[in-house]
Amino acid sequence: MALDAPDTTRHRTRLTLDGGALWQRLETLARVGAYDDPATGLVGVNRQSLTDEDAEGRRLLITWMTEAGLDVTIDEMGNIFGRREGADQDLAPVVAGSHIDSVGTAGAFDGCLGVLSALEVIRALDRDGVTTRRPVVVVAWTEEEGVRFGTDMLGSAVAAGRLSLEYAYGLTDAAGDRFVDELQRIGFQGHRPVRIEPPHAYVECHIEQGPVLLREGLAVGVVTGVQAISWQRVTLHGRAAHAGTTPTELRVDAGLAAAQITVHVRGMVDSGRYGQLRGTVGHISTSPGLPSVVPDRAEITVDLRNPDDAAMARAEEDLAAFLETLPKLQPGLAVEVQRMAKTHQVPFDPQIQDIITSAAAGLGFPTMKLMSGAGHDAQEMAAITPTAMIFVRGQYDGISHNPREYSTPEDCLAGLETLGQTMLELAS
């Protein structure tokens, strides 16, 4: 799908964007699901998808959308859309947004910056009396994080057609509660059909969640795409035994196998055979979890990421082959592998990247291009429409999914202004 050719002769309006209003809304939304975090001593955010806290955040967002004069609709997945009409309402809209659900130990910016920045752009269009040719839509996607129901980018993936509504409705959380039941319980199962008509373009402003922009001294960055991501859960079944009386050679130690996988994943990364591979074992648990008992069961998660699909495929083959060797090292050990998520490398639209770069330059912000190491709703939209992202610098080494997550008001304003000029260009 090709974008309209940019009109280089048209006078460019510079929107009067209110960074203070954006900051105030970020602070207000962060109070929904706020908790005292013992690990950091800070106030964090726990607003997981389809919880009561998520419902409260959604109602607050809808209030702000309504106050901005938007036509608010909710689809069958609970995705929230706020539409501002353009001069030609029959044209495909420009869509911008992100998500407001969080992980259990979140900060105030992940996802929320993108939704609330897009909303502030709409408010600026009204303040400045700007009528865009195309409609403009703000969206808040459901269950981007995937921490509750186990599939990230869920709302946008169903909207774009990668996953089915039936699949999403059947997902359950750790307590056994079904997605569809929780969606109904909080009152956000909308009537709008979930499959979205391809918009003219999609743009997402997001905190970087990494240290690159901070290291380079840049407030904003232009995202070239999202790297391939693979999540697997590995369950190891061994045999419980007394830690003092069972000889080492007679043990079937599930905990040992979990440790061997962890070391192997790091070895794959350090070998350099798989390009820019990143590997993380983010969860390890053993049963019965007693100091004097050889574990009879262990569960770990393996997160692999790579900007190259071919290198990722080779890395996954390596891991699979290693897992097959574990029962040979410990006869009696059983290995069970469950695929949690897999996405391919997703390139973003070069023309929108150029528009973002030009918008930032016109505002006095130098930029760099960088690949996203994390998954985002934008990668789902890229399957159906020209898409790109704007990254905003994070402080404290770019930490995210943590109460220490932080971007300065000045950097948030830089991202907001860049988003505003980009949306204006795309919608004009």
Q: Which residues fall within 8 angstroms of residue 357, CB to CB, at 6 or more apart? A: 222, 367, 369
Is 110 annotated in a binding site? The answer is yes
What span, in angstroms and rounded, lies between the C-alpha atoms of 75 and 69? 19
Reference 371, options 253, 262, 222, 266; nearest CA is 222
The residues pairing with 44 across neighbouring beta strands, listed in sequence order, are 35
Reference 411, options 5, 45, 1, 22; nearest CA is 22
Q: Which residues fall within 8 angstroms of residue 310, CB to CB, at 6 or more apart? A: none
Kindly compute the dihedral angle of the four CA atoms of residues 244, 249, 251, 252, in this order, to the nearest 10 degrees: 160
CA distances from 270 to 18, 256, 274 (A): 46, 21, 9
Is 264 annotated in a binding site? The answer is no
Is 303 annotated in a binding site? The answer is no
Is 344 annotated in a binding site? The answer is no
What is the chain's percent helix, strand, coil content, to nearest 5? 35, 25, 40
Q: Which residue has the tokens 């353009």?
A: 86
Burial class (CB in 10 A: 0-12, 13-18, 19+), 162: middle
Residue type, 252: V
Is 145 annotated in a binding site? The answer is yes
- Which value, in Å, is the radius of gyration of the alpha carbons in the chain? 23
Binding residues for Zn(2+): 99, 110, 145, 206, 401
Numbered residues of the known binding site: 99, 110, 145, 206, 401
